[in-house]
Amino acid sequence: MEIVVIWFRRDMRLDDHIALSKAVTYAKKHEYKLFALYHLDPFFTEMDLDLNNEHFFQNLAHFVKKAREAQLYVHLFHDDVLRAFQQIINVYDIKAVFFNEDQVGIGQRRDRRVTKFLEKKGIHVSKWQDTHLHGAQDILKADGSHYQVFTPYYQSWRKQEKQPVIKVDRSFMNSKHNICDESLSELGDEKLREIIKRCSRKFDQIGSSKAMSTLHTFIQERLTRYQEKRDIPSVFGTSKLSRFLKTGTISIRTVFHALHEEELYEDEGRETFVKELAWRDFYHMIYAHYPEMKDKEINLAFQGMKWNEDEALFDAWCKGETGFPLVDAGMRQLNEEGWMHNRLRMVTASFLTKDYLIDWRKGEAYFAKKLVDYDEASNIGGFQWAASVGTDAVPYFRIFNPTTQSKRFDPSGEYIRRYVPELKHIDEKWIHEPSKMPIDEQLKSGCVLGDTYPLPTVDHQERRNLAISLFEEAKQQ
């Protein structure tokens, strides 16, 4: 039987999906049947389950269920990816394989390997850029080189026309046009069920319906004041769309065009949010041009940095026990929810790399395990930015003061109290620097420093001076 394969990955939806739309059109034109596939990569399934993986696999289980209910039977394969395709080839005559490509990281290496394998067998491979508004090679300078600074990139990005929402012919999704071969999916189904059973918590903010309702609520209730509220962690001022973009349960095109469907009285909130979408494209472009940036600093001057290897301090950062309330609140939110407010991502990354002087790679890897919206390019880019070792990074001598950040963005301590309950009854006067609290106030609030809540693990001013000298030393070498 002649078939066209649609290979799903970080695009768990049936609407506004380029590869799916193209595969349906191709299958209809040539009168082939459609074979839907998701490959469970042992690289990820054999990892220890943490919040990131648990969230992703729960999204996958939800997507497979919904797709099958919509009469598109998604087959699950758990094996080496080439062996998975060979299993299909052994049964069916594959005429073409359609998928939305990865342009960076391990996904890119897998795509190249599979493409080479399929093309050697005479199978047509059709790859599409679907995860970003503009791909890694779309926005370049006039001389063809890539941008390294965000502002000129954004100016060029903003002028480029954005691809419209893609229509998918859902009428093609029925048993007449689709392959449903449960025997091929049996082992994959069993593996996914086993993973879901091992998950330590259940996520409810998953799936395309939730993604669409989250988008519409954001536009109707928070977009016009986004520029004012997005930096205040105690209020619900952000979009909360990143987790859906991570799994592809909503398309980035759907998000972009929904922002422009109605005229807003104030455009500043929309423009501020659109700039965040451009940052997402920018870091993706940077990663494509610096494929080693997960392991190496982009700024060559700092590739020989002598980082602190104090495991006790790193453990304190991970647990949210640094003695700096805003930092601890951010890390505890991450550990509890698998998500952290963006302002806190900057504050905690700066604290790790500038106050603790710990290698940014350790922080990036920890976020990778915990963040349900983990985006490799953006996370690496953000950590290199905070550590002052990346492209267009904050200068190394500009170091976030965690106490100043706390007073500015959580003035009443509402966010701190939510995630650091030891400080819940502390007076606003001491909430940002509890270590300055007199002993009678400590006893009154039920928070004894060094016992109930840790004393500051470092002196910020001393570490700031040390960080600057270490960066200057690295530059000279």
The CATH number of the domain holding residue 49 is 3.40.50.620
- Quote the CA–CA distance of 106 and 165 in Å, as a whole number: 28
Give per-residue pLDDT as tens, 136-180: 999 999 999 999 999 999 999 999 999 999 999 998 888 889 999
- Quote the CA–CA distance of 282 and 298 in Å, as a whole number: 14
Compute the average pLDDT of residues 105-124: 97
> Does 35 map to a domain?
yes
The CATH number of the domain holding residue 465 is 1.10.579.10
Query: How many structural domains are present in the chain?
Result: 2
> Does 78 map to a domain?
yes
> Does 180 map to a domain?
no
Among 155, 171, 198, the domain-final residue is 198
pTM of this prediction? 0.96
Same domain, 54 and 189: yes
Same domain, 194 and 310: no
Q: Residues marked as binding for FAD?
A: 226, 238-242, 273, 276-283, 373-375
State whether the Cα torsion 15-21-27-28 is positive or negative: positive
Give per-residue pLDDT as tens, 236-276: 999 999 999 999 999 999 999 999 886 655 589 999 999 99
Residue 262 confidence (pLDDT): 67
DSSP state of 178: B
Same domain, 450 and 310: yes
Chain centroid to Cα 455, Å, comes to: 33
Residue 476 confidence (pLDDT): 85
Q: Is residue 373 within 8 Å of residue 334, measured between CB atoms?
A: no
DSSP, collapsed to helix, strand or coil, labels residue 297 as coil
What is the bridge-based pairing of β-strands 93-100 and 74-78? unpaired
Compute the average pLDDT of residues 66-78: 96
> Does 82 map to a domain?
yes
Same domain, 193 and 330: no
> Does 402 map to a domain?
yes
Q: What is the DSSP string of 67-120?
A: HHHTT--EEEEES-HHHHHHHHHTTSEEEEEEEE---SHHHHHHHHHHHHHHHH
Give the ranges where 300-445 is alpha helix by DSSP (H).
Answer: 311-319, 325-337, 342-350, 360-370, 376-386, 402-409, 414-419, 439-445
Q: Residues marked as binding?
A: 226, 238-242, 273, 276-283, 373-375
> Does 7 map to a domain?
yes
Range of the domain at 100: 2-133+185-198
Mean pLDDT value across the chain: 96
What's the count of helices (H) and strands (E) in the chain, helices before strands? 21, 5
Give per-residue pLDDT as tens, 327-351: 999 999 999 999 999 999 999 999 9
> Does 466 map to a domain?
yes
- Examine the pLDDT at 301 and tell me if it is beyond 80: yes
Model confidence band, residue 475 (pLDDT cutoffs 50, 70, 90): confident
Same domain, 194 and 327: no
Residue 392 confidence (pLDDT): 87
Same domain, 193 and 327: no
Residue 54 confidence (pLDDT): 97
Give per-residue pLDDT as tens, 220-234: 999 999 999 999 999
Residue 39 confidence (pLDDT): 97
- Examine the pLDDT at 88 and tell me if it is beyond 90: yes
> Does 248 map to a domain?
no
Same domain, 189 and 322: no
pLDDT more than 70, % of the chain: 99
Q: Compute how many other C-beta atoms are within 10 angstroms of the C-beta atom of residue 65.
A: 12
Give per-residue pLDDT as tens, 425-448: 999 999 999 999 999 999 999 999
pLDDT more than 90, % of the chain: 93
Compute the average pLDDT of residues 370-379: 98
Residue 477 confidence (pLDDT): 77
